[in-house]
Structure 1
Amino acid sequence: MQDIGQRLLHDKILGIALGAALLSLFVGRPTADAVDWSTILALLALMICVQLLNRLQVLDALSNRLLAVTSTQRQVVQLFTGLAFAGAMVLTNDVTILTLLPMLVLVARQQKMALALPAVLVVMAANLGSAFTPFGNPQNLYLFAHYQLSAGAFFRLSSPLLVGGVLVMLGLTYLARPRPIVTPPVRQIPDHPVAISLALGLFGLVLLGVFRVLPLGWVTLVAVIGGLLLDRRAVQRVDYGLLLTFICFFILVSAISHNPQVIAGMQRLMRTPHAVYLTSLVASQVISNVPATVLLAPFTSHSAALFWGVNVGGLGTLVASLANLLTLKQLLALGERDAVRPFFKLFTVLNVLGLLLLGSLGWFWLR
């Protein structure tokens, strides 16, 4: 417990988020349901599972197997980017990042490879890949239900963005240098078959909770108890600062979005498809794309414009998508503090580039 407390006290991002949340109380009054507890519980359960698999060296073994099918650093970057893009369609962007980023860090350490570029591409790919399916991210789930879209109608919206996203991400992977990698000997799964089987089973159970097949609250409780029984240290190593940061962020967004002036301004801006598109895109940069979706959807019937605005709007600033913040926090939690500054610089440049390219595509597609 003392270790957890020390990490929270020294968590600068949490401190900034807490200060912003407190200041936001002077702007508006957050509602009682401001915090999306399903997101918090899902993140907690997933982080426990990832910590368990990491401490059992399963992720290390899997990362070595991934290296075995590549020969250059560029191919490594392309592999992880492709896995993030495809995985996010099914697993959601947050789950994909929590699963892939620890393996990416291990690979980067083994190969003495700069981490900033692949980390940026993984989160961008996860955001764009998740936009293709109704269940890939929370904003799509909300839009799918709010506008009562059929599967066909939804995929007609998302397919052009899928094509554009694939082309942009493929092009960006060529920024990685084609340096040869040192292929390590394929490491066998460590000899802890019972513990590994239980950890993998727990991970599968958590995924069922994330997809609402099982009650998420009970699944999270099982994950906590299972984590404590299998490896108490894994539960202690969870980034609780990330969970508290997200809670502060939800409070901040709720307070801003319930300000009467903000609501009145939104109503004035939401008159045409392009106005909805630009408003949602800009709002995503400030309050994140999921809250922007919930805030703007009641004011417009232009579902296509809102879909494009909030999904393309996941690119841009660090707060544009919670997955962006999750990536930054994971880098810190995984001990990659030296990678944070180059990550932020490259993240800003490449996200602005992606935002301009795909933002232009969205503008012309809506014409």
Structure 2
Amino acid sequence: MVTVVRRTLHDKIFIIALICAGLSLFIGTPQLTAINWATIGTLFALMISVQLLRAMHLLDTLRDWLLVKSHDTRQMCQLFILLAFGGSMILTNDVAILTLIPIFLTLARRQHLAIAYPTTLIIMAANLGSAFTPIGNPQNLFLVTFYHVNLFTFFKLSTPLMLASLTLLVALSWRLPRLPLTVTPTKSTPISRSQIGLAGGLLSFIMLGIFNLVPISLVIIGTIVVGLMINRRVFRDVDYALLLTFICFFIFVSAISHNPAITHWLNQLTQTAPSVYITGLITSQVISNVPAAILLANFTPHLSALFLGVNIGGLGSLVASLANLLALKQLLPFNDEQPLHHFLIVFTALNGLGLFILGLGGWFYLHL
């Protein structure tokens, strides 16, 4: 318990969100009813299921399988990109980055590879892949619960972005160097198929709750019970700081939404689908795409435009997605070998390119 509290209080993203929530009290008066507890509860259930999968070493096994299939460094990087892209759809972009980036950096160091370009593509893959499912990232989870989106509508909206994103990532990955691969995979922990089946069933159960096919309260209780049955230690590893950060986001958004001047300004910016889309893209660059989604959803019925705006808006600046900041933390130990400023230059350039290409594609898609 002490460890969990200490880890939470030392989480820089939570501290920043808490400060922003506190400062927002000088702008407007927040309403506690604005906190979407269904989203918070669903996120908690999702975190438990993800920690169960991590405890089963599923990604470690997939990593070793990918290394066996790799013939050179380019293919190794491409497979990591695909794993981040696909894994983030189920395990969230945060977990994909926290799990894969350290593994990749260790392997890249052994191969003496320049890490900036492939690492950036892995980060982009996690952010873009997570947009495909309602559980892939926090903003999707919020949008689905806020707008009460059904399964067909969501995937009809997310599939074109997924295909465009995958095409972009594959194209960019062909610029990776192609060198002989000398890394041998490490021995991974055996996986219990029964436990994986139970965890997979739990994820499916959570999906039913997200789409209102099962009461969300039942989903939360069921997830807690399954977690206690399989591995109680997963509750220690849940990112409670992220849950509190989300609550701070809701308070921040509620406060500024009750400021008449800001409300009038946002109402003017969210009248049409194209304006919502552009506002989502720009706002994400400044305050990150999760709070941008929470903020703008209160002012517009244009789900498609907002979905595309905040998900494509996860590209671009370092703060556009919280997952970017998590990735930066993983890179700090490697600063002595390969300067961090070089990574930031490559990161900004590639994300800027991706933002331009997909942003332009999203604009034309909305006008079809």
Q: Which TM-score band (shorter chain)?
A: 0.7 to 0.9
1:104 Cα offset (Å): 4.8
Matched position secondary structure for 1:29: coil
1:64 Cα offset (Å): 0.8
Instruction: Tell me what 1:11 maps to.
Output: 11
Question: Could you tell me whether the CA contact under 8 Å between 2:250 and 2:294 is conserved in 1?
Answer: no
* Separation in structure 2 between the aligned mates of residue 54 and residue 141 of structure 1, nearest angstrom: 25
Point out where structure 1 has 5 or more consecutive residues left out of the alignment: none
Instruction: Tell me what 2:314 maps to.
Output: 314
Q: 1:118 to 1:254 in 2, by over 3 A?
A: farther
TM-superposition CA deviations, 1:229-253 (whole Å, max 9, x none): 6545443233332332232233223
Instruction: Tell me what 2:65 maps to.
Output: 65
Instruction: Tell me what 2:354 maps to.
Output: 354
Question: Could you tell me whether the CA contact under 8 Å between 1:46 and 1:98 is conserved in 2?
Answer: no
TM-superposition CA deviations, 1:145-180 (whole Å, max 9, x none): 57x9985x984x666644542332223323543333
Extract structure 1 runs of 4+ deviating beyond 6 A: 133-136
1:264 Cα offset (Å): 0.4
* Separation in structure 2 between the aligned mates of residue 11 and residue 100 of structure 1, nearest angstrom: 17
Instruction: Tell me what 1:40 maps to.
Output: 40
Matched, 1:208 2:211: no
Instruction: Tell me what 1:197 maps to.
Output: 194
Q: 1:238 to 1:275 in 2, by over 3 A?
A: closer
Q: 1:248 to 1:317 in 2, by over 3 A?
A: farther
Matched, 1:22 2:27: no
Matched, 1:141 2:136: no
Q: 1:43 to 1:51 in 2, by over 3 A?
A: same
Question: Could you tell me whether the CA contact under 8 Å between 2:85 and 2:125 is conserved in 1?
Answer: yes
Q: 1:186 to 1:297 in 2, by over 3 A?
A: closer
When the two structures are superposed, what TM-score results if normalisation uses the length of structure 1? Answer: 0.75
1:23 Cα offset (Å): 0.7
Question: Could you tell me whether the CA contact under 8 Å between 1:143 and 1:307 is conserved in 2?
Answer: no
Q: 1:65 to 1:301 in 2, by over 3 A?
A: closer
Instruction: Tell me what 2:169 maps to.
Output: 169
* Separation in structure 2 between the aligned mates of residue 218 and residue 172 of structure 1, nearest angstrom: 43
Point out where structure 2 has 5 or more consecutive residues left out of the alignment: none
- Give the % identical residues: 43
Root-mean-square deviation (CA, aligned residues, Å) is 4.1
Instruction: Tell me what 1:255 maps to.
Output: 255
Instruction: Tell me what 1:98 maps to.
Output: 95
Q: 1:202 to 1:86 in 2, by over 3 A?
A: closer
* Separation in structure 2 between the aligned mates of residue 164 and residue 107 of structure 1, nearest angstrom: 25
Question: Could you tell me whether the CA contact under 8 Å between 1:108 and 1:114 is conserved in 2?
Answer: no
TM-superposition CA deviations, 1:311-350 (whole Å, max 9, x none): 3223234554xxx314644775xx7652695666654433
Q: Which amino acid aligns with 2:322?
A: L
Q: Which amino acid aligns with 2:165?
A: G
When the two structures are superposed, what TM-score results if normalisation uses the length of structure 2? Answer: 0.74
Figure out how many residues of one structure are paired with residues of the other and give that number. Answer: 353
* Separation in structure 1 between the aligned mates of residue 239 and residue 271 of structure 2, nearest angstrom: 42
Question: Could you tell me whether the CA contact under 8 Å between 2:284 and 2:292 is conserved in 1?
Answer: yes
Q: 1:15 to 1:280 in 2, by over 3 A?
A: closer
Matched position secondary structure for 1:314: coil
| Deviating more after overlay: 277-286 vs 95-104 | 95-104
* Separation in structure 1 between the aligned mates of residue 134 and residue 57 of structure 2, nearest angstrom: 34
Question: Could you tell me whether the CA contact under 8 Å between 2:51 and 2:238 is conserved in 1?
Answer: yes
Matched position secondary structure for 2:69: coil
Q: Which amino acid aligns with 2:103?
A: L
* Separation in structure 1 between the aligned mates of residue 50 and residue 304 of structure 2, nearest angstrom: 36
Instruction: Tell me what 2:106 maps to.
Output: 109
Q: Which amino acid aligns with 1:106?
A: I
1:209 Cα offset (Å): 1.3
Q: How does 1:271-350 map to 2 (within 5 A)?
A: 271=271, 273-289=273-289, 292-293=292-293, 295-296=295-296, 305-320=305-320, 324-326=321-323, 328-329=325-326, 332=329, 337-338=332-333, 346-350=346-350
Q: 1:42 to 1:330 in 2, by over 3 A?
A: farther
TM-superposition CA deviations, 1:101-160 (whole Å, max 9, x none): 4145334434536766555434423443455578863476379757x9985x984x6666
